[in-house]
Structure 1
């Protein structure tokens, strides 16, 4: 008789991955990173358990967007007060708020629940090629595109 096995939180083994964003397209990078953060690349994936790995994204300032999206795509924030809507283009986000730009792209592909909040803590984004996680011995994650 076959039986479905469910991973328990104590049984999860986490790996550290580093992704070089130089020349990568934002959407293609984000989908792969979100999949690794969720743990969907593992055969022991369980939807209701945080079984994903840690991901470090370096060279975030060299990530690109295709087409005319830098001018047309808009990011919105609202303070909650009347007239408190702030709008920024993708070009402004890339130039001035690079880390937030990449994080928002990846966060949007994770669950918007308490489980997703835990997964978000496993993402680290840096603009340069240096990161302070050398002690964790991250493995390079190859992403096409």
Structure 2
């Protein structure tokens, strides 16, 4: 014999599932960069804390809520060239984007918390390394 609790339980699960689906859809439509802290370049959230220029381009470093995001931007976009960008929080492995790109490499993001990070960027063999920054 049924106690009647089965229908209420199913209804509650369906309601929670529909609410979760609606929230996921809303996040997908709005996206993570919809807030006012979204970067001007459109690829990293947060505020720009460093720019590391070099002869073939620049590496832009952004920070928000313990996360550090970096992107490498070529000075002369157009032709595919070898590019790589990485960011490493002290005590962790580096996160890297490497390949042949026309305009930019990245973004790459790490959770640094309050740890120092090291940023590197290269275009066709020329590049820049930050050393430990944002300590």
TM-score (norm 2): 0.22
Larger radius of gyration: 2
Q: Which has the higher helix share?
A: 1
Structure of greater relative contact order (alpha carbons < 8 Å, 6+ residues apart): 1
TM-score (norm 1): 0.21
Q: Which has the higher strand share?
A: 2
